[in-house]
A and B are shown apart, each in its own frame.
Chain A
């Protein structure tokens, strides 16, 4: 919260950028070329690259964007269980890019979300609010940040930085910003390794995951045993600290060109184990018990070289993302940590031009997500233990920017599947930037199988939304 307040107050005090313009110096003649308007086009450039803003400085809003809108979701199976069978969200966000001086810039993204059918679901928060410092060969980010470390489409074992907000959508939860710092060191590119970067992360304060509310269809307290989120068993002291090291680079070989990541991270895991707690009065409830995890992982996204492997293969993008998870319990924890495991995704993307029309494009994604190494009861409830994913994303590339996305997730062990179709288009007859979408999800569950989804009502739903982007 602190960086957001700081930055917003600085915005108020910002000088008018036109006041910073100076008359030509050094005896410059009128024939000389001045950089009128150039600075506006040169945001986000490392120190010394462009020589902008180096003297005088002054904070200014370099760019502003955002959206506001509403979406309504109707669950059409397992209704009338006493839980909310519909959601009606009003939400919006604002993104402000701030230039402070040559080395410092900032970013603030406040957002709000409220559900008319759920009085507990109210979010007013800075999604991100941070300051950036850029040096010649390193940069620092300080504040609340969100990053996506994933490579695959549907499931990302490497994406372990941010907690999730399970309240508004249990299966596709939004990220929550983490407060801390990121320091990146940049190294010179070579013939094979390009843009080598070493990134260090430190999140010193642990914050709990946001769970579905009591009236949500995914409420953890909907069963006969009450869920006591306030009784969470969380790490204290040094155990709260999350730290990570990421090494990133491009790889240019005669066989393929790729981006690869290596990751080592240690700290509290964002999603806890749920433990029954027996009370002296012979009642029982369920509390979240957080534990720690060490993650060692690697990821690769590669495009085969056309000259070596031919043009057919060079039209594919191949990807791998895998992480070994070693879990450990905190001293306060009354239960042992789940068993270690290896989780991974392999897959490919293929883009087809003009499959049906004159300018359209179809992206086909095929992925397999698997897990090895653990057999404890907790592991049975994890998603993506042996799942296939097929995604088709069609973009019309027309004036209304119409798109259609279909995703099929199939659990190959249990037979469970989720099919989702999303249609999106601009309502140009009303406004160029008014976006409409329709999302249809069907869940096929296998009640006899061990699956987390079997604890909840069937999540099949239809959602429609309308948003104005600006």
Chain B
């Protein structure tokens, strides 16, 4: 099933679609290629700029956790995100399974300058609790992803350096990429550095390597089944995080995805849907289903 989905979405990505998003693709700037730090930062900044304008996103999918022996469990969530490029994105995650966690919700207001604001709602005790956003290195629900991995990349929080232009092989496909190093400049990171493979034609992140604080390779994230949502925004159908030290891995598989809700029409009314607003990302809304 996953293979079929991947093949289908890959073939879709191979045939460029008309940009229906209303957000033009920015022109590639004149990169300063003779200076590795500047060039690296320019690539990261442009990748960030390239992906702006999606406004809001709803992602429903499952997380499949594998241990070293191949045993696995599934968990499913819905994630709602409000794009806010300068002040930090806001996101709300609702857990659908396991049944024990159904109704549990986590709200995050990202803060580009410091720690995020985070709240947790536990339906069992009817309580919304503010929690410290300092624990970015914690595992997200037992997966190989940490909260740090799932947050948006803030360009200013890294020191960038271009390493080389490489051909990344993915199955039968060879993808021309910029390999760029990002060294986190914030406290409470779990990593000494990250290596990004930015695709040269659309600047999506094909692969990321995470190095632990002892500078040993810890995890590799690969994305596949790319889709240009609205013919514009690149999103993977599957993200796989492999821990090379423990041999454990996690698959994030999308089941439903909506970007920029105002581009969809309601089946009920025939009218365009409004976008999510700030009110959706409040502690009041957290307590709603």
- Known A303-B133, A307-B114, A432-B73: A49·B274 in contact at CB below 8 Å: yes
Indicate if the CB atoms of A469 and B279 lie closer than 8 Å. Answer: no
The verdict on B251 contacting chain A, using a C-beta distance below 8 Å, is no
Question: Which one of B270, B285, B288 contacts A26 once the chains associate, using CB atoms below 8 Å?
Answer: B270
- Known A148-B125, A250-B283, A314-B115: A24·B132 in contact at CB below 8 Å: no
Within the complex, the shortest CB–CB distance from B205 to chain A, in Å, comes to: 24
| Chain A residues, Cβ within 8 Å of B256 | 37-38, 41
Indicate if the CB atoms of B282 and A195 lie closer than 8 Å. Answer: yes
The verdict on A87 contacting chain B, using a C-beta distance below 8 Å, is no
Within the complex, the shortest CB–CB distance from B223 to chain A, in Å, comes to: 22
Within the complex, the shortest CB–CB distance from B137 to chain A, in Å, comes to: 5
State in angstroms the CA–CA spacing of A48 and B117 once bound together. Answer: 26
Question: Which one of A51, A107, A148 contacts B127 once the chains associate, using CB atoms below 8 Å?
Answer: A148
| Chain A residues, Cβ within 8 Å of B269 | 25, 51, 54-55
Find residues 52-109 in chain A having any chain B CB closer than 8 Å to their own CB.
52-56, 62-63, 65, 67, 95, 97, 105, 107
State in angstroms the CA–CA spacing of A269 and B37 once bound together. Answer: 67
Contact with A along B30-69 (1 / 0, CB 8 A): 0000000000000000000000000000101000010100
Indicate if the CB atoms of A195 and B283 lie closer than 8 Å. Answer: yes
- Known A259-B130, A316-B132: A51·B115 in contact at CB below 8 Å: no
- Known A46-B285, A259-B130, A397-B142: A433·B100 in contact at CB below 8 Å: yes
Within the complex, the shortest CB–CB distance from A214 to chain B, in Å, comes to: 30
Interface segment, one of A27-35, A204-212, A225-233: A27-35
State in angstroms the CA–CA spacing of A346 and B91 once bound together. Answer: 30
| Chain A residues, Cβ within 8 Å of B135 | 315, 351, 353, 361
| Chain B residues, Cβ within 8 Å of A62 | 289
State in angstroms the CA–CA spacing of A42 and B261 once bound together. Answer: 11
| Chain A residues, Cβ within 8 Å of B117 | 250, 252, 257, 303
The verdict on B220 contacting chain A, using a C-beta distance below 8 Å, is no
Question: Which one of B78, B265, B285, B288 contacts A41 once the chains associate, using CB atoms below 8 Å?
Answer: B78
| Chain B residues, Cβ within 8 Å of A301 | 129-130
Question: Which one of B130, B139, B276, B285 contacts A359 once the chains associate, using CB atoms below 8 Å?
Answer: B139
Where chain B touches its partner, the secondary structure class is loop
The verdict on A311 contacting chain B, using a C-beta distance below 8 Å, is yes
Question: Which one of B103, B134, B266 contacts A315 once the chains associate, using CB atoms below 8 Å?
Answer: B134
Contact with B along A406-438 (1 / 0, CB 8 A): 000000000000000000001010001101000
Contact with B along A329-373 (1 / 0, CB 8 A): 000000000000000000001010110001101000000000000
Indicate if the CB atoms of A35 and B273 lie closer than 8 Å. Answer: yes
Within the complex, the shortest CB–CB distance from A177 to chain B, in Å, comes to: 11
Closest to A305 in B: B114
Count A interface residues, CB 8 Å: 81
Indicate if the CB atoms of B126 and A146 lie closer than 8 Å. Answer: yes
Bin chain B's interface residue count.
35 or more
Find residues 116-155 in chain B having any chain A CB closer than 8 Å to their own CB.
117, 119, 123, 125-135, 137-139, 141-142
Contact with B along A279-315 (1 / 0, CB 8 A): 0000000000000000000000111011100010011
Closest to B136 in A: A353
Indicate if the CB atoms of A399 and B73 lie closer than 8 Å. Answer: yes
Find residues 210-248 in chain A having any chain B CB closer than 8 Å to their own CB.
none
| Chain B residues, Cβ within 8 Å of A306 | 114-115, 134, 187
A-B contact count, CB below 8 Å? 195
The verdict on A147 contacting chain B, using a C-beta distance below 8 Å, is yes
Within the complex, the shortest CB–CB distance from B270 to chain A, in Å, comes to: 3
Indicate if the CB atoms of B100 and A435 lie closer than 8 Å. Answer: yes
Indicate if the CB atoms of B273 and A38 lie closer than 8 Å. Answer: yes
State in angstroms the CA–CA spacing of A95 and B65 once bound together. Answer: 28
The verdict on A376 contacting chain B, using a C-beta distance below 8 Å, is no
| Chain A residues, Cβ within 8 Å of B71 | 399
Indicate if the CB atoms of B132 and A45 lie closer than 8 Å. Answer: no
Indicate if the CB atoms of A147 and B100 lie closer than 8 Å. Answer: no
State in angstroms the CA–CA spacing of A96 and B71 once bound together. Answer: 33
The verdict on B174 contacting chain A, using a C-beta distance below 8 Å, is no
Contact with B along A3-41 (1 / 0, CB 8 A): 000000000000000001110111010001111111101
The verdict on B170 contacting chain A, using a C-beta distance below 8 Å, is no
State in angstroms the CA–CA spacing of A146 and B283 once bound together. Answer: 17
The verdict on A323 contacting chain B, using a C-beta distance below 8 Å, is no
Indicate if the CB atoms of B270 and A20 lie closer than 8 Å. Answer: no
Indicate if the CB atoms of A51 and B285 lie closer than 8 Å. Answer: no
| Chain A residues, Cβ within 8 Å of B285 | 44-46
The verdict on B284 contacting chain A, using a C-beta distance below 8 Å, is yes
- Known A35-B273, A41-B78: A22·B267 in contact at CB below 8 Å: yes
Within the complex, the shortest CB–CB distance from A277 to chain B, in Å, comes to: 37
- Known A54-B268, A399-B67: A259·B283 in contact at CB below 8 Å: yes
B positions within 8 Å CB-CB of A: 58, 60, 65, 67, 71, 73, 78, 80, 98-100, 102-103, 113-115, 117, 119, 123, 125-135, 137-139, 141-142, 187-188, 230, 246, 256, 258, 261, 263-271, 273-274, 276-280, 282-285, 288-289
Q: Which 9 A-B pairs have the closest CB atoms?
A: A44-B288, A25-B270, A469-B99, A359-B139, A397-B142, A43-B289, A148-B126, A44-B289, A433-B99
A positions within 8 Å CB-CB of B: 20-22, 24-26, 28, 32-39, 41-46, 48-56, 62-63, 65, 67, 95, 97, 105, 107, 146-148, 150, 184, 186, 189, 195, 197, 250, 252, 257-259, 301-303, 305-307, 311, 314-317, 349, 351, 353-354, 358-359, 361, 397-399, 401, 426, 428, 432-433, 435, 469-470
New A-B pairs, 8, CB < 8 Å, besides A33-B263, A65-B103: A22-B270, A34-B266, A35-B258, A65-B102, A95-B123, A195-B284, A257-B130, A314-B134
